[in-house]
Chains A and B, each alone.
Chain A
């Protein structure tokens, strides 16, 4: 069976990397890249396997609802593909980039543990198991944010850790309440019992706790305060992982799985998502506009783009949900690309401050071109993939008769273009500064990672009808089927 491998490969490697680090200094590079490449191949191969319905693996041979099940359906697969693509690019990028830091093998160990947690959350079909994987990913990310151990990194990590841990406690309390009230932990079984005879007061309280916990993890405004500190402080590959996939798996995926497939779609949840999405979209976009630290600008942009995803999910219409899922894919590749280019600037020009850059296009042509591709993708300029995902979301909002929100979505997309062009102008255009004349382009492996992601940004945009048909539509159908999710798990 293929499903446990998504957890077993990174978990096993995170134990092997410390062992082999004593043998050779370069073993970590090799093992990590082999591991992420294997996960990428496995996730792409699974697309074909899923044509016959979701794959369900019973851990230890125990049938649901008694044992833990791993479920790989189209929604999980979409998220797994995003995680695999971004983590592959990040591991390639880390080969040279992480040479700036000491004890690289510790970085790789934590990196692999983080992937274990992310993949675990996506494939598990058990709510307590989900909490355990949540915490594996979260603890690894706290340590990775603090990896530089300078003033800012430690401060950001502590802040992130306290907020993140309180959110985890909200999720655990909610799990305890659900178990106390319904006597099961299996997601499919839980969904049946909730539909059968769930006490509405219990469900309202548990749902509120879940939504709070997941909204903190997804950094939706007003729960976003930790993100603009934590994401820029991490090393660039980790910023790319955190902004690219981490908040989507722990936040957006968890919200859609729990609220669409287990609790069942209710207008109150959709309205809350619309509210959070609107607040994130607008507030974070204006805050991004006034940043002068490049990574901080990108972090605020992430919050704003998560707002689009929440709005798309909140419409509850097929097109809106499809747009939200497509935006998960397009934002994860686009924002990972942007964070990696900002890492290239830090590596070569030794600065993150936009005021201290300028004219770097002539010294770093590949980085500059990749940044342009990423910025235009996130801003939603055709033919890049960000355009199509935003278009689906905005049409979805219009179809759901949320006309005002659709207009806001279009206006903020213009604002997105404005702050991306601001970053581009300050960093790459204009005359080069005297002290930056000696800057060299980054090492080859870093550039390969940038070109890989940039090619995806263009490729997904050009071939979007095919991507939508293969990846996005099956995932959308999982969410639209709602609590029929339980039947598919029990039947397989």
Chain B
């Protein structure tokens, strides 16, 4: 049980580098919160602060309403799983898992019970007597999970726990972590640079860049209503397409124009954009937000020459030259496209993203303080 609150928290190093700048974040009890961003964005710093492993330069950190800035890690009720697993090389698997409980002076038989329960749940019972060096990467990962699990902590912290696993194992372990969260009924804070992990696991995602929070929201909100171009391009695979152009307003109808291309902005968004007539903007179209069925209605047609067709099994990826810019779309396999063909796709204009070309902020999804 823990609600964690960051209040204007900053981290500055003596050499002047700011790792974290004015973080305000309220993590609910039992929430699964994912900190997402490229390396060096401050996400691990944030996690280490919750664990007590990193000093806070400015601001306050609360656990259930109590300031814990100066509480050392061993007096906080947190458990952590590390990217390198950080198992104790000189201890057996059993002792690795039991160590945290021993340090907290739990009775012997209770420790034994908890270690064996965790081992059973993680299917590592047969490994209990081994040393970490005798385990595979996936097994080590499970031991690290077990070590955190038996503690039954108020807060469960994970620092890129899946990064060192191979692709198949990463997907299956992801599902197990989600299950673990449901079973343990405790607050999870999870750091990753992998957007698909974040989208799968999170109740809420915090997107960070250069120590500054870019957006906080549910996976759907982050994906569908990105507040700026960084967030929009950090999530989604293949990445979102950007196209520079101008907004034109005519009788209340807002259109995006670039050369011969003209896309009609739907009325819901048009209201917000009417004030930006003549503004240089960048629109974002996700690869999946087009279709190739039927004749496109006016204001939704996107025509261009196919420069390459990349089959990926389930779909085809098309690279299309639109008004001098290469765009990347995902389409069905039915239409047999060939390199050099001209094609016209229908854009789902309801899902268009419009950003200010200067500062990259969304003109539709205004930044709301979370």
Interaction A to B:
no
